[in-house]
Amino acid sequence: MDSSYVQGLHDLLVQSTANNTLQLKAATAQLNKEYYKNPACIPALTTILTMSLEAPVRQLAAVELRKRVYARSGDMWLQVNQADRDAIKANLPSFILNESQKLVRHSAARVIAAIAGIEMEHNTWPTLLPWIQETCLSTAVAHREIGVFVLFSVIESIMDTSTSTIPQFLQLFEKLLQDPESNDVRVTAVRALGTVGQYIDSDEKTEIRAFQAVMPHMLNVIQQTVALGDTEGAKHVFDVFETLLILETPLLSASVPQLVQYLLQTGADRNVDDDLRIQALNALTWTVQYKKSKIQSNNLAGAIIEGLMPITAEPEVEDIDEDAPSRSALRIIDALATNLPPTQVFNPLRQVLQSYITSPDPNLRRGGMLALGISVEGCSEFMIPLMSGVWPIIDAGLQDADASVRKATCIAVSCLCEWLEDECSQRHSVLVPAIMQLVQDPQTQRQACTALDGLLEILHDDIKQYLQLIMERLSGLLETAPIPVKTVVMGAIGSAAHASKEGFLPYFQPTMERVKHFLVLTGEGEEQDLRGITMDAVGTFSEAVGKDVFRPYYNDLMQQAFAGIELGSARLRECSFLFFGVMARVYGDEFAPWLPKVVPALIASCKLEEGGKEPIGLSNAEALAAFSASGSDPANAITVIDENEPIEVEDIDLDKMLDVNSAIAVEKDIAADTMGTLFAATGKSFLPYVEQCTLELIELTKHYYEGIRKSSSDSLLEIIRTFYELSEPAEWQPGPPATAPALNQHVADLISHIVPQLLDMYETEDNKTVAAALCVGLAETINKVGPRFLDGYLEQLCTITVQILEQKALCQQDPDQDDADEAPEESAEYESVLISSAQDLVAAIANVLGPMFSQVFATFLPLIGKYYKKNRSLSDRSAAIGCLAELIDALKSEVTNWTEPLLELFYTALSDTDAEVQSNAAFATGLLIENSQQDLSQQYLPILSKLKPLFDVVPTASPPARLSAKDNAAGAVARIIVKNSGALPLDQVLPIFIGALPLRNDLLENRPVFRAIFHLFQTNGAALVPYIDALLQVFAYVLNPEVEEQVPEEAREELIRLIKAINQEKPDAVQAANLSAFA
């Protein structure tokens, strides 16, 4: 080795460590030009690393040496002559044992790992592993710390070479985890185990058991590290546990109860540093999300909630972006509510809520209210029958003496309005005045406006009585309130416009004058937020007042939307895209001239790189875990490699990167959704852009963010439906795909390009919401396009539905659940949404195949029928019966072979405790009797006895579900009358049947009802004579032009003919019913 070469390199490294920017730039340029491209720099850097007296120089030499070893995928290292390579491998281990600086030791260990990554692949460093093992077991604690860090650094290379050594390494790690002197040894051993765990496959049972055996020692390390106040060490350990939690291999399963207990204990301990508490609570969030079956089977939710509630009551943090234990605790309650059955979450929450809500401590009342609000999303259906106990809590909270409790109650109201629309809208007379009172209070204005926004969104016609007051109050705030309050006020005004529709007309122009200057704000942060939400609200105004009233503002606002795109804010681009979608819906083909400028902006958004780079090297699940994590990143062990050198994810400011990524990802989500909206709204004018948009959307189906995958798949299916409508298709009839009318070639080509991509997306889809949306979108598209859509895809689509109904789709899989085990009957409400969506897809397939569906009905009947059991949720039971009804309707007479099991199921469902299920059961029973060729006349009386209670309603007081059940019961009776009126005791049936008319809720059942009436007039008119006056009143209601259309045109024509016939016999009765105009 040329000593002058080494000295020259050393001098430049010294210059690089000087605190002088000019010297640094000059040294870096010279190093890159004269040294770093030459393999000779590797032994030279090694010499400097092992010989220099200056620690900063040794450190820099180690960092640069590692880069050079990795350079050109290891090729530079292999260009070093063998003797020098052997000398480096011999010298580095002894050097690292004697190095006094920890940072230098760690950098040198990474050099060893880089070399090992190349040498071990060729079995050319046989002394390394024995040296590591010897050093790890040394009696000198300093040597053990060095040995285990080197092992941590090279473990990935070892595992890449062979995983057969895992058992012996686990034995070594068991000792290291119990090191009596050094927490560094224990923590580093945990970090190394995190890497090992990623190499154990689910079928390697021996390795799994061995890993699980060391888990208690790993849990001890967490406790010891936190007890020592070692924040950095604790972060590393929590990161490892979060990584292990997201692995498919169930390494943590046996220790979940112990892990939960410790994380909860640490998170609740106010003597522990807040950062450590937050890390513990974030790890608990991941435990709930990724080990939900263990949480559920061990019934841990109640204990978790009990432990979390005191944390929710800790003092608030003012900064919305600052994390705090209380916020982490609420996130865990949200995770519990959305991942577990509501019985395991809301029931224990109710038990503790009462003491919190009635506590004299306002912090406890606030915490209880926030916990109630956050639980609604996952427990909304379960809460419906319990709302009589919830509303007094809300009412008291809105009137609470403490402002923080009132604010928390407003947040809870917002959640309730989002997930329980009917229940909230029915209480408008209480909620609106109470919230309007809080809008006037500066302490609660912002939260009250948010609650008002949510409430107005669902008020519909009921807003009329409040609109003047609301607009007066909110318009005043637009002049006087601080910007953050103005932002939520604009959202509330937008919702007021949405609810009031044309009722907003008197307020439109004055409001536009007040807010137009918000649309030209250019400041970052609050100003951009206000500009964006104003753009959203103005779009809503346009839908309320109509395109002609809005036209004077149209062009200027389009220009402002484009100006917003140019400001470089993802949020403003998102708002502009939403505005374009609304304008397209309002103006239809008139929007077409803007397409040449709008579509390129959407495509540019779809092509944006997030944070400069995609998270290379991360799987969808890992990237999403990082994307959505509020705390530490669980994928820290993943290495991101660029073309020049490795970058450890732990060395990246991942939080900062993901902040950028999340904003751009949401923008892409909206851009993808807007593409489908524009095509549906502008039709043929959009055709020049279909191909490019389709290609971009297909690419986005592979994105790691679930919102983008959902929007892109929705828009792709919208493109198929819209193109199909534009192709002027022939009407199709249910039957085999081959017999249906051929599709337009462009439509067929679109389907062949899009559908395989969506089916591929499903195979790797791990998000239930995306999978559910895909099922719903496919169902809508199948029902639109008809049998030809299924050509070539029927088997795959049936496989998807079977997988989901068996709860074996990827997004339903739980690595902790044995493949042979049945999924538990109690499940989270999001699971029910997915199941219902799959049933929609089954129904669509049946709808277009018609009686041909009988070939696979035997497969689907038990899969759907199992969701009608007493332990199943309301939505499961209701959807199962409703789906079977749709299948019967498609099968027609082919349902006959399954008449008995279906009738038995429906007979039970007619006595269900919930009116929604009874309604579907009545509908299904009628369809079965109508379509089955089996003689069911012996069953009529038992069925009628089950239907009779459904007619006992009070029209003005009964809930909508009960009224719908009555209408469907009438439809069932009507179908029985048409099928075999002679087998019915008409003298007992007709008073109840006719007394239930006219139908007011489920108007589709008017079709069988009037078929039955016409049938009786034709076959047994005498039976109807006593009811002529009552029937004429029904006819008058149905024919009233001021009410919603009641019957199809053909039934209307037949009804008029019937009135004419009755008029021949009873003109006075017809005149008394005000039907003379039809006679």
Q: Does residue 764 form part of some domain?
A: yes
- Give the span between the Cα atoms of 250 and 558, in whole angstroms: 53
Task: Give pLDDT tens digits for 381-418.
Answer: 999 999 999 999 999 999 999 999 999 999 999 999 99
User: How much is the pTM?
Assistant: 0.85
pLDDT of the residue at 821: 55
Domains identified in the chain, total number: 3
Residue 223 contacts residue 179 (beta carbons within 8 Å): no
Task: Give pLDDT tens digits for 53-81.
Answer: 999 999 999 999 999 998 888 899 999 99
Task: Give pLDDT tens digits for 39-48.
Answer: 999 999 999 9
Average of per-residue pLDDT across 579-597: 97
pLDDT of the residue at 923: 98
With a pLDDT cut of 90, the percent of the chain lying above it is 81
pLDDT of the residue at 42: 94
Which CATH number does the domain housing residue 132 bear?
1.25.10
pLDDT of the residue at 1060: 94
How many other CB atoms are there within 10 angstroms of residue 334's CB atom? 21
Are both 857 and 771 inside the same structural domain?
Answer: yes
> Is residue 219's pLDDT more than 80?
yes
**Residue corresponding to tokens 């109050």:** 473
Residue 676 contacts residue 716 (beta carbons within 8 Å): yes
* Residue 530 one-letter amino acid: L
Are both 800 and 881 inside the same structural domain?
Answer: yes
Which CATH number does the domain housing residue 799 bear?
1.25.10.10
Q: Does residue 911 form part of some domain?
A: yes
Q: What is the DSSP letter of 315?
A: P
Are both 52 and 112 inside the same structural domain?
Answer: yes
> In the structure, what pLDDT confidence band is assigned to residue 505 with cuts at 50, 70 and 90?
very high
Are both 1001 and 1057 inside the same structural domain?
Answer: yes
Mean pLDDT across the chain, nearest whole number? 91
Widest CA span of the chain, in angstroms? Answer: 124
Q: Does residue 827 form part of some domain?
A: yes
Residue 1 structure tokens: 């080795």
> Is residue 954's pLDDT more than 70?
yes
pLDDT of the residue at 1002: 93
Q: What is the DSSP letter of 1076?
A: G
Are both 790 and 927 inside the same structural domain?
Answer: yes
Residue closest to 408 by CA, chosen among 457, 362, 456, 358: 362
pLDDT of the residue at 818: 57
Of 131-135, 461-465, 614-618, least confident by mean pLDDT is 614-618
Residue closest to 195 by CA, chosen among 813, 648, 656: 648
State how far the alpha carbon of 129 is from the alpha carbons of 18, 21, 157, 871, in Å: 38, 42, 11, 56
Provide the Cα torsion 298, 301, 307, 308; round to 10°: 150
Q: Does residue 252 form part of some domain?
A: no
* Residue 293 one-letter amino acid: S
* 57-64: Cβ within 8 A, 24+ apart: 57/10, 57/13, 57/14, 57/17, 58/99, 58/101, 58/104, 59/101, 59/103, 59/104, 59/107, 60/13, 60/16, 60/17, 61/13, 62/104, 62/107, 62/108, 62/110, 62/111, 63/107, 64/13, 64/31, 64/36
pLDDT of the residue at 393: 96
Average of per-residue pLDDT across 155-167: 86
First to last CA, the chain: 115
pLDDT of the residue at 620: 38
> In the structure, what pLDDT confidence band is assigned to residue 117 with cuts at 50, 70 and 90?
confident
CA angle 100, 105, 109 (to 5 degrees): 155
Are both 857 and 775 inside the same structural domain?
Answer: yes
CA angle 343, 348, 350 (to 5 degrees): 100
Q: Does residue 832 form part of some domain?
A: yes
Are both 770 and 905 inside the same structural domain?
Answer: yes
Are both 1003 and 1063 inside the same structural domain?
Answer: yes
> In the structure, what pLDDT confidence band is assigned to residue 808 with cuts at 50, 70 and 90?
very high
Provide the Cα torsion 567, 569, 570, 571; round to 10°: -110
Residue by residue, what is the 3-state secondary structure of 784-827? HHCHHHHCCCHHHHHHHHHHHHCCCCHHHCCCCCCCCCCCCCCC
**Residue corresponding to tokens 């109640």:** 302
> In the structure, what pLDDT confidence band is assigned to residue 815 with cuts at 50, 70 and 90?
confident
Q: What is the DSSP letter of 138?
A: -
Residue 234 structure tokens: 């604790």
Q: What is the DSSP letter of 648?
A: E
Q: Which residue has the higher pLDDT, 650 or 446?
A: 446
> Is residue 49's pLDDT more than 90?
yes
Task: Give pLDDT tens digits for 590-614.
Answer: 999 999 999 999 999 999 987 533 3
pLDDT of the residue at 819: 53
The residues facing 648 across adjacent strands are 639
pLDDT of the residue at 959: 86
Task: Give pLDDT tens digits for 864-903.
Answer: 999 998 889 999 999 999 999 999 999 999 999 999 999 9
Are both 889 and 949 inside the same structural domain?
Answer: no
State how far the alpha carbon of 932 is from the alpha carbons of 441, 534, 917, 921, in Å: 64, 57, 22, 16
> Is residue 653's pLDDT more than 80?
no
Among the candidates 92, 120, 136, a domain finishes at 136
Among the candidates 74, 104, 136, a domain finishes at 136
What is the C-alpha radius of gyration for the chain, rounded to an integer number of angstroms?
35
* Residue 726 one-letter amino acid: L
Q: Does residue 41 form part of some domain?
A: yes
Q: At what angle do helices 128-136 and 166-176 cross, to 10 degrees?
A: 30
> Is residue 690's pLDDT more than 50?
yes
- Residues 6+ away with beta carbon under 8 Å from 117: 74, 154, 156, 157, 160
Burial (CB count <10 Å: 0-12, 13-18, 19+), residue 977: buried
> Is residue 341's pLDDT more than 70?
yes
Outline where 588-705 has alpha helix (H).
595-607, 620-628, 654-682, 687-700
Residue 982 structure tokens: 């002679």
Task: Give pLDDT tens digits for 281-316.
Answer: 999 999 999 999 999 999 999 999 999 999 999 988
State how far the alpha carbon of 475 is from the alpha carbons of 377, 438, 471, 546, 955, in Å: 31, 15, 6, 21, 39
Are both 851 and 949 inside the same structural domain?
Answer: no
> In the structure, what pLDDT confidence band is assigned to residue 512 with cuts at 50, 70 and 90?
very high
Task: Give pLDDT tens digits for 852-868.
Answer: 999 999 999 999 999 99
Q: Does residue 254 form part of some domain?
A: no
Are both 882 and 1014 inside the same structural domain?
Answer: no
Q: Does residue 283 form part of some domain?
A: no
Task: Give pLDDT tens digits for 535-546.
Answer: 999 999 999 999
> In the structure, what pLDDT confidence band is assigned to residue 164 with cuts at 50, 70 and 90?
confident
pLDDT of the residue at 202: 87
pLDDT of the residue at 624: 38
Among the candidates 101, 136, 171, a domain finishes at 136
Are both 927 and 790 inside the same structural domain?
Answer: yes
pLDDT of the residue at 650: 41
pLDDT of the residue at 633: 30
Residue 380 contacts residue 338 (beta carbons within 8 Å): no
Peptide bond into 998 cis (omega under 30): yes
pLDDT of the residue at 828: 84
How many other CB atoms are there within 10 angstroms of residue 467's CB atom? 19
> Is residue 476's pLDDT more than 60?
yes
Beta strands in 426-495 (DSSP E): none
Residue closest to 722 by CA, chosen among 694, 692, 763: 694
CA angle 157, 162, 167 (to 5 degrees): 105
Q: Residue 835 sits in which domain range?
A: 758-934
Provide the Cα torsion 823, 825, 828, 834; round to 10°: 70
